[in-house]
Amino acid sequence: MVQELGHLVLYVRNLARSRTFYRDILGFREIFALPYGAAFSSGRTHHELLLLEVGPTAAPIPRGARVGLYHFGLKIGDSDDDLRAMLLALSKAGTTIVGASDHVVTHSLYILDPDGNEVELYIDVPGVDWKSDPAMMMGAPKPLRL
């Protein structure tokens, strides 16, 4: 029986570029790096993200409706102030921001990593009791104004 989502593995074209993005821009703690890969952890477990380099000729992520990963989420703090600080850092780094949503239970920024993977950066909205009403997570998102 599944107990928790353990980790995510991404193929990347350029390991150095992706390490810089996840480590220096997003602030993910790098646990180790090898010539072909790097692992990152928030401290919850041995690693939550593993990057594996596949080189510059790898096929790009197809756009539009497709089977596979849509996005993955990374909790970056506990308040909208944390999201505002991240938004400023992302803007300074020239990161592609593709959206910002109020999901009632979370406030989220959506960005693209250097290979076009969509990443949700979010905070859990304080005081929202989603456990007593899990359906509230499925409401239509509203625009988020930071």
User: What are the structural domains, with CATH classification, of the chain?
Assistant: 1-56 (3.10.180.10), 70-146 (3.10.180.10)
Whole-number Å distance between alpha carbons of 13 and 53: 6
Whole-number Å distance between alpha carbons of 144 and 38: 33
Average pLDDT, the chain: 95
Q: How confident is the model at residue 137 (pLDDT cuts 50, 70, 90)?
A: confident
Mean pLDDT for 36-54 is: 97
Q: How confident is the model at residue 36 (pLDDT cuts 50, 70, 90)?
A: very high
Query: In this predicted model, what pLDDT tens digit does every residue of 58-109 receive, in sequence order?
Result: 999 998 899 999 999 999 999 999 999 999 999 999 999 999 999 999 999 9
Q: How confident is the model at residue 134 (pLDDT cuts 50, 70, 90)?
A: confident
Q: What is the per-residue pLDDT for 13?
A: 98
Query: In this predicted model, what pLDDT tens digit does every residue of 9-18 receive, in sequence order?
Result: 999 999 999 9
Q: How confident is the model at residue 42 (pLDDT cuts 50, 70, 90)?
A: very high
Higher pLDDT, 130 or 7: 7
Q: Are 88 and 96 in contact (CB under 8 A)?
A: no
Query: What strands, in cross-sheet order, belong to the sheet with 71-77?
Result: 71-77, 118-124, 106-112, 97-102, 142-143
